[in-house]
Amino acid sequence: MIVRKHPSQLFAILFSCIILLTSSTFDSSLLSQNILVNETFDDPLILPDGWGQQTLANDGGWSNGNNSSLQSEWWSIDPHGNFIATNDDACDCNKSEDYLITPPLNFTDLDNAILSFAGFFSGQAFEGSTDRATIEYSLNGGDSWIVLTEIAGNGNADNTVWENHNVNLSELLTYNDVLLAFHYDDDGGWMFGWAIDDVVIYEPVGLNAEMTLLTFPTNISLGSAVNISGVITNTGTDVIESFDIVWSQGGSMSYSQSYGNLNISTGNSYNFTHQDQFFAQSAGLYLIDVTVTNVNGQQDEDLSNNSLSSSIMVIEYGEIYSGGFLRDYIYFKPSSAPENCPLVFVCHGYGGSAQDIMNYSHFNDLAIEYGFAVCYPQGIQDSGGNTFFNVGYDFQNNETVDDVAYLEDLISLFSTDGSVNPEEVFCTGMSNGGDFCYLLACEASESFRGVAPISGMIMQDIMDNCTPSQNVGILEIHGTQDNVTYYNGDYNNQDGWGAYPSIPATIDFFVDLYGLALNSTGNFPNISSNDGSSVSYQKYGVEDECGKVWLYTVSGGGHDWPGAYGNMDIDASREAWLFFDSLCGSGPSSGCTDSAACNFNPAITEDDGTCIYAVEGYDCEGVCLNDFNGDGVCDSICPEDLNSDGYITIQDILLILSEFGCTSFCENDINQDGFVTVDDLLQVLSEFGNTCS
């Protein structure tokens, strides 16, 4: 039963608190800044007013849009709403002079100025060239440019993330009519690109520490330890001499470290590495929250930029001996996946890597959502040094590696302890990985329930000898303008891969082999009108049969993985999984349907009463959610019950008042913002008189 105090009692308590607070110092001032530019590139079609560009590229240079419309096969861009980007991978054109230019700026009346923006840039080297990104300015209307600073990338396009940047513009303070530019240079090669968002140019004031960047990896190996690290930037005018860094995993136990004897002036940054590491004890996705607090022993003037969050995906990077070769693989089974769960293989294209296809297919996210395991096998190198899966290309007649046996060895490895169900194994792949899917359907039908080739084909000699012991479900997604694996086939082996039939002929072959009839045809909604393509479907076979054969034809589509690059009307990864999940009634027919449960399965439609819930105050992994003082011991489930007596009383208010104004290692910081302020007091008052059970 909840018992509440009479309003007159609450008023008396609040009045007493206000009297006490009048003798305390409370700085509630907000950061006031002179903002010259604040641009988020929300219009996906045109440059903002006053902005301009210079380019030598035949694709028009910088373009507005989102990650779906602006990324390409080898340059995937993480989502960031609408932004602006220049993409050299998509055009392989002359992007040595791609300038994105701000409106003219007047710095003469400012005491200081900072350029702040979010950027997505790798700075990777490739075949003798290196992506370059610089901030430059012009004092003569863009006739010539002076480099202000160079933007450093992480050197790896596969692991690029959006990063916040701050550039000190103090050397421009005496100039009027200044143009600032973001200059991308492909260094004469076929490179990647640069994406920009949230550009702000402002005059800083006061004490302001910004959590600019988190630099720890987003994918790590199971069993490893990671240093929580990042960058703090002084975006105010006061010199920063000290601060605390606090990080926590998903709101559980927090770890704090103090940094002192600093001298960070306006626009300058400090790279920190926290003394407490994150330990990857089990596979899964972990949200890490990092906050800078207690700046110069006090609360700084803008709390909105004090925190950043980033997720760490804990993955198994493994090795296995198969056929006399030491083979690499990436394996991910999320904590949401039950024992004996389905297994999906995702195979890269010719010359690609397991890491590449993991990054752009986003199958790990689907594994978390639907509760299955996913494995990314790594092809070995052929005699030309290119990674591949052996399907018998004409120029690889001397290759002897048995990749079918390799995947069967992996199935045995993952299913030995009941972790995955060997009766529910599927494979999808891009290009060469898609070709490999057809080989599996023909030669390993007893091991694979379904395959989903994306931009793949079946070699003619494989088709001629295809005698599966059981029907394997097939979903092919293919573009009519694919210039690598032709939609209309290559019957005469003009390209040297070997002869292969057209995609419609391939589908007809399996339809006849399985004895299927056309079930339905139609079109997917053309939700992305600017991708130059649309998707139709033909579905053969009864809905719950094992041997269904479906064809998704991407009219106008290229050699793409829809949803990652190329066509954006469908998500090839999701379509592949949904197809797999429909085969033979794949997966359990009943289970837990409550999304609040630890064993929730979104693919289940019938609840069988087996839902498992976390103990109150703990998450599904048994981690305490309410260790407010960071001592490793779960506190009362009511954060306002500071003395843990089961009630919210005047004693709890007195504890708040006894520590009021605290800025470091505060035991009674209820809202976990690093300080004990009026906000904490009001939170206690809002629950005053309640019982806590």
> 279: domain range?
221-227+234-315
Q: Check: CB of residue 314 under 8 Å from CB of residue 283.
A: yes
Of the candidate ranges 364-373, 463-472, 612-621, the one whose mean pLDDT is the lowest: 612-621
Query: Are 308 and 328 within one domain?
Result: no
- Arithmetic mean of pLDDT, 671-680: 83
Range from 15-29, 35-49, 426-440, 514-528 carrying the lowest mean pLDDT: 15-29
- Asked whether the predicted pLDDT for residue 622 surpasses 70, the reply is no
For 557, the enclosing helix (H) or strand (E) is: none
Query: Residue 571: which CATH number?
Result: 3.40.50.1820
Question: Same structural domain for residues 102 and 171?
Answer: yes
Q: 41 and 88: one domain?
A: yes
Residue 485, pLDDT > 90, answer: yes
Per-residue pLDDT band at 30 (split at 50, 70, 90): very low
- Please name the residue that has the structure tokens 């900072």: 114
Least confident of 26-35, 200-209, 381-390: 26-35
> Residue 235 class from Cβ within 10 Å (0-12 exposed, 13-18 middle, 19+ buried)?
buried
Q: What is the CATH number of the domain that holds 661?
A: 1.10.1330
Q: Predicted confidence band at 31 (pLDDT cuts at 50, 70, 90)?
A: very low
Q: Is the pLDDT of residue 597 over 90?
A: no
The predicted model gives 621-627 an average pLDDT of 54
Which pLDDT band, with edges at 50, 70 and 90, does 372 fall under?
Answer: very high
pLDDT score recorded for residue 613: 75
Q: Is residue 618 situated within a structural domain?
A: no
Tell me, what CATH number does 302's domain have? 2.60.40
Domain identity same for 337 and 271: no
144 vs 54, 97, 99, 147, CA distance in Å? 12, 12, 12, 10
pLDDT at 539 exceeding the cut of 50: yes
pLDDT at 74 over 90: no
Please report which residue ranges of 193-300 form alpha helices under DSSP H: none
Same domain, 365 and 263: no
Which tokens go with 116? 């702040």
CATH number of the domain to which 108 belongs: 2.60.120.200
CA nearest to 546, candidates 641, 403, 441, 629: 441
Q: What is the SS3 assignment for 570?
A: coil
Please determine, for residue 445, whether its predicted confidence score (pLDDT) is greater than 80.
Answer: yes
Query: Are both 446 and 357 inside the same structural domain?
Result: yes
- Residue-averaged pLDDT of the chain: 88
Query: Mean pLDDT over residues 113-132, rounded?
Result: 93
331 and 414 fall within a common domain = yes
Last residue of a domain, one of 522, 553, 587: 587
Assess whether 61 and 113 both reside in one domain: yes
Is the residue at 41 inside a domain? yes
Q: Classify 60 in phi/psi space as left (phi over 0), alpha (psi -120 to 50) or beta.
A: left
Is the confidence at residue 20, as pLDDT, over 80?
no
- Report the distance separating Cα 372 and Cα 419, nearest Å: 10
* pLDDT at 503 > cutoff 70: yes
The set of residues, in sequence order, having a beta carbon less than 8 Å from that of 385 and lying 6+ positions away, is: none
From 292, 315, 338, give the residue that closes a domain: 315
**pLDDT surpasses 50 at 2:** no
Does residue 100 sit within a domain?
yes
Tell me the range of 130-139, 278-287, 302-311, 658-667 where mean pLDDT is highest. 130-139
Which of 281, 315, 349 is where one domain is finished? 315
Do both 381 and 341 map to the same domain? yes
Q: Which pLDDT value is given to residue 116?
A: 93
pLDDT value of position 625: 57
Give the pLDDT confidence score for residue 606 in this predicted structure.
66
Tokens encoding 183 = 């200059």
Residues above pLDDT 70, as percent of the chain:
89
Residues 403, 514 within the same domain: yes
Span between the terminal Cα atoms of the chain, in Å: 9
Confidence of residue 567 (pLDDT cuts 50, 70, 90): very high
Burial of 32 (0-12, 13-18, 19+ CB in 10 A): exposed
CA distance 428 to 482: 18
In a domain, 213, yes or no: no
Residue 614 in domain: no
Q: Is the pLDDT of residue 9 over 80?
A: no
Say if residue 631's pLDDT is above 80. no
Asked if residue 692 is part of any domain, the answer here is no
**pTM value?**
0.66
Q: What are the tens digits of pLDDT across the range 77-88?
A: 988 999 999 999
With respect to residue 253, please indicate whether it lies within any of the assigned structural domains.
yes
- Once rounded to an integer, what is the mean pLDDT over residues 585-590? 52
187 and 249 part of one domain: no
Q: Is the pLDDT of residue 358 over 50?
A: yes
Between 49-53, 497-501, 584-588, the lowest mean confidence (pLDDT) is in 584-588
Res 641: pLDDT: 84
- Nearest 10 degrees: CA dihedral of 598, 604, 610, 613? 20
Does residue 210 form part of some domain?
no
Q: Is 419 exposed, middle or buried (0-12, 13-18, 19+ CB in 10 A)?
A: middle
Give pLDDT, residue 617: 59
Q: How confident is the model at residue 668 (pLDDT cuts 50, 70, 90)?
A: confident
DSSP characters over 435-446: HHHHHHHHH-TT
Q: How confident is the model at residue 629, as a pLDDT?
A: 44
pLDDT band per the 50, 70, 90 thresholds, residue 71: confident
Residues 549 and 505 in one domain: yes
How many domains does the chain divide into?
A: 4
Alpha carbon of residue 134 to chain centroid: 25
Is the pLDDT at 620 greater than 80, yes or no? no
What are the start-end ranges of the H helices in 563-614? 572-582
